[in-house]
Structure 1
Amino acid sequence: MDELRLSRRGMLAATLAGAAGAAGAAGVAASSSAAQQPSSAASAAPPSADAARLLAPRPPMGWNSWNSFATTITEAQARETAAIMREKLLPFGYDVFTVDIQWYEPNATSYEYNQVATPTLDAHGRVIPAPNRFPSSADGSGFTGLAAAVHAMGMRFGIHVMRGIPREAVKRNLPVLGTKLRAADVADTSSICAWNPDM
């Protein structure tokens, strides 16, 4: 099985190297049809080191809090789950531990979003972990403590982040760090998230 996987990887790397080389020589981007039909020379050639680096050895593998806790995970639950993940999943390559959306919402309750969101914000309108759910963040250190604990277990730590500026920051017209502007000056209120009331 590993030989087959490596063989496919080698062929794909050679294809990418061949397509990139052809595009560079011609001075134009390779068309998708050309990339799908590599020449036999490109297929037979061993992959270049650059082409091999383009390929991930495996897709990112991990655990995401949404699937078990929706918006409600707490620090205690995260630490307990990370310990279970280290024991049961890490040996099989699952090494990304992710706290999903609304870690900044002190009143998160389920798979449904609170329609009147009250995200925990710093003085500049940036979301920070809700200290009632993530007590190690109460000193202003954010996820530093939880991330360090997950890293100490041999895993990577991630969080779900929404694009944009929190609606609450705009409502309160908080100052934008490092500028003379305020949240209402920079927010595009015509471009809001259709499925989440936070941003």
Structure 2
Amino acid sequence: MLYSRLRTFAIFLVCSLPGALIAAPVSLNFMVEEYCEVDHYDFCNPGGGMIGTSLTAPPPAAGDGTLVIRARGDFDGALEAVAILLDGAVFGVLFNNDPSDDPFSGISGDVGNQYASVLEATATVDAALLSTLLADGMVDLAFSTRLADTGLGYNEVGNNRNSYDFLSASLTYDATPAVPLPASALLLMGGLAGLSVLSRRRRQR
């Protein structure tokens, strides 16, 4: 009876071991303050500009990702829009009073404001797109006011230098589990060792 119970326990360990894997969160965070200052002068000029960053050697994703955009500045007009780019492709355009051209939620009617409060928008990056983005070993994330990206005829994004203006982005996802928990491995080895001992004793009888 004891042997039978131990065998059942060991089988349970074997079956449950794959579930005892670590799914570590991965995050790409980017923030630019006073986005119209000298370093980003084109961003607030008629032709527009781009500000971005990259995550190198990202691990594979276990599922969907989440992209959160936060902003404070002069975004109260339809021409004061910002495009969000992932690997150089437009993922959506915010603050252009048109919620139909982006997957973000959290900003009613996609209408911004002028320094009144921090704007926050959230979107899901589905697993298929995320896997494509990660496939080349690098993810580029950028804000753009370039006319080709926003679809506007003129860029009126500006900022009040006396205010705390910023743009920030956070892309997070769970990495594909790759490492079993050490405790589970020890339990499994202990169970198998116990099986071996009991098996020898049964044969000796």
TM-score bracket, normalised by the shorter chain, equals: under 0.3
Larger Rg: 2
More helix, by proportion: 1
Structure with more relative contact order (C-alpha pairs < 8 Å, separation 6 or more): 2
TM-score normalised by the chain length of structure 2? 0.25
More strand, by proportion: 2
